[in-house]
Chain A
Amino acid sequence: MEREIVMGGIGGQGVQLATKILATALNRENRSVMHFAAFGGTMRGGNVECTVVTGTEALAAPPIIPSAWMVISMHPNTVPLVAAKARPGGLFVVNTTLITEPTELEGVNVVEIPASWIAGELDNTQGGAMVLLGAICQATGLVSVEQLVEGLKELTPPYRQKTIPRNTQAFEAGDAFAREHLANFQHQAWALAAA
């Protein structure tokens, strides 16, 4: 089985890094995995859309996919972009700190996470994507938060080592949020594979 995750945000929110960490964590758990990033010429503030496809077998999906099991929006600018790829029965995860308009999509399960606010409480405003990823991975069992932290360590270059503790903290804060607010989450990533 395959799971597709599309994450949209704007340049500077760490969407590329977060999805690369997700892909690395999945690879560490020996899942098949593919990552593709589409971004504009703007380094800060331009729309970013990253796709991760993972599965239990060799992947059939191409790098650009029509719809995804989980779409995530970190910023209001990318709500229409990722909503277009939401799938009935799938998940639409929104960063409610920045996306204040209510989100409704027929047949799609909306998951609200105040990711940027939680990150701000940790004095790590840039860590919103990490918080959200920690939360949704804990809730769905997509990949363990421990492997996300390992993926973070693997991808952080030598000159950015000092960011590892605060990004680890962001993953853990997301994990804690999910344990409190998204316990017994219905949409398990690998439920079908295990059955």
Chain B
Amino acid sequence: MGDKQLIDGSKAIAHSAALAGCRFYASYPIQPNSHLIEEMTQELAKIGGVTMNAESEGEAINMVWGAAATGNRAMCSTTVTGMSLMHEAMSEMFAAEVAYVFVHMARGQTEYRVGTRGGGHGEYRYISYAPHTVQEAADLTRLAFYTADKFRTPVMIQADYILTHTVEAMEFHDFDESDLKEKDWAIDGAKGRVPRINSFIRGTYSLGDKSAMAYGELQERAMERIAYLEENVPSLAETGHLDDADLVVISYGYVSRFAKYAVGLLREEGMKIGFVRPITMWPFPKKEVLEAAEKAKALAVFELNNGQMVDDVRLTVLGRVPVHFIGRISQDDSGFGMGKAIEIPNLTAKIRETYEQMKVPA
């Protein structure tokens, strides 16, 4: 009998959330997110938690807000368009400093920008993790709940259709959370005390609630928090072959699995190509990308969008080396982000072309 369990990405996230003590989860069906709803329903039932299949995306995220504000571990998830509908509440939840985990079950990678910078109002950033295997989906889910509580802030996991439907042998690991403090900010029903949660819509100073933070004050606090998070939340990345690489391919999430494989094939042909795989999309792993830029002649970013992570790579290397965008929109007939671009022959051809052009003397 094998030592490992054979499960898919949704099950890995759901079971990890249950192991992390998630007590509340709400969502609204949309593929590939619906698969996670099924798994969460089963997992939270086992530990006495609550899963709500909401009437709308707005209802789902606002229920999660309520649950998280009481200090309970809570999770929300959706897919692509669903996230657009949730952004009003998501913006507020950052301002309100509510710790919760948000899983974006993507179709392709057109939400890198939204998944790191948000799509709502006010100053905010998400701590954002992008797993590329079932094992990593489980591990990063535990880390996400821990990080959310430690920094009292929303944390996002960028999963996707392929990860949801990939079954792999994996194991759940123990996770040490002994350094977490009690949530003295949680709402516990005490009448008459000073409010503990601030947000734009709670009744601002100008409306006469003298205990609420004014808009500007709230924004200044958000800016300080963003700077603090960027400085203190560990950024994570996997790197390969940076020692001798002339060209370094940068790719995140499930797509990076294809990119890593393509790099491996091209190295077998003797090409000096390396890779950097950001595991945290924000804070962006600047150290690893800079290390790549110091040694390589060029960087090539492969992502399934119009070049959204390219911005972060360019802002990191600041012109030290050329940064080529080699990705594209890649959808199959069902629109789930598989498509032609990740087919290995197409991907190796694209990287090979970039490598060979780089070799031609200017």
Residues of A at the B interface (CB closer than 8 Å) are: 20, 23-24, 27-38, 41, 60-66
Nearest Cβ in chain A — how far from B107, in angstroms? Answer: 15
- Comparing B81-89, B95-103, B253-261, B310-318, the segment that makes contact with chain A is B253-261
Question: How far, in whole Å, are A38 and B162 apart by their CA atoms in the complex?
Answer: 9
Which residues of chain B have C-beta atoms less than 8 A from A63's C-beta? 162, 165-166, 254, 257
Do residues A66 and B3 form an inter-chain contact, with CB atoms below 8 A? Answer: no
Do residues B3 and A64 form an inter-chain contact, with CB atoms below 8 A? Answer: no
Known: A31-B2, A63-B162. 19 other contacts (CB 8 A): A27-B2, A27-B4, A28-B1, A30-B2, A30-B3, A30-B4, A34-B166, A35-B6, A35-B168, A36-B166, A37-B165, A38-B338, A41-B334, A60-B264, A61-B261, A62-B261, A63-B166, A64-B343, A66-B343
Do residues B6 and A60 form an inter-chain contact, with CB atoms below 8 A? Answer: no
**Residues 97 to 125 of chain B near chain A (Cβ within 8 Å):** none
Q: Is B344 an interface residue (CB 8 A)?
A: yes
Question: How far, in whole Å, are A29 and B1 apart by their CA atoms in the complex?
Answer: 6
Nearest Cβ in chain B — how far from A1, in angstroms? Answer: 14
Which residues of chain A have C-beta atoms less than 8 A from B264's C-beta? 60
- Using C-beta atoms within 8 Å of the partner chain, give the interface range for chain B: 20 to 34
Which residues of chain B have C-beta atoms less than 8 A from A35's C-beta? 6, 166-168
Nearest Cβ in chain B — how far from A25, in angstroms? Answer: 9
Q: Is B76 an interface residue (CB 8 A)?
A: no
Question: How far, in whole Å, are A37 and B166 apart by their CA atoms in the complex?
Answer: 7
Which residues of chain A have C-beta atoms less than 8 A from B6's C-beta? 23-24, 27, 33, 35
Nearest Cβ in chain B — how far from A144, in angstroms? Answer: 13
B348: nearest residue on chain A (CB-CB)?
A66
Question: CB-defined interface of B141-185 with A at 8 Å, one 1/0 digit per residue?
Answer: 000000000000000000000100111110000000000000000
Which residues of chain B have C-beta atoms less than 8 A from A20's C-beta? 167
Q: Is B189 an interface residue (CB 8 A)?
A: no
Q: Is B345 an interface residue (CB 8 A)?
A: yes
Question: How far, in whole Å, are A86 and B167 apart by their CA atoms in the complex?
Answer: 23
Q: Is B342 an interface residue (CB 8 A)?
A: yes
10 contacts between A and B (CB under 8 A): A23-B6, A27-B4, A31-B169, A32-B169, A34-B168, A61-B261, A63-B165, A63-B166, A63-B257, A65-B344
Do residues B169 and A33 form an inter-chain contact, with CB atoms below 8 A? Answer: yes
Question: CB-defined interface of B308-342 with A at 8 Å, one 1/0 digit per residue?
Answer: 00000000000000000000000000100010001
Nearest Cβ in chain A — how far from B207, in angstroms? Answer: 51
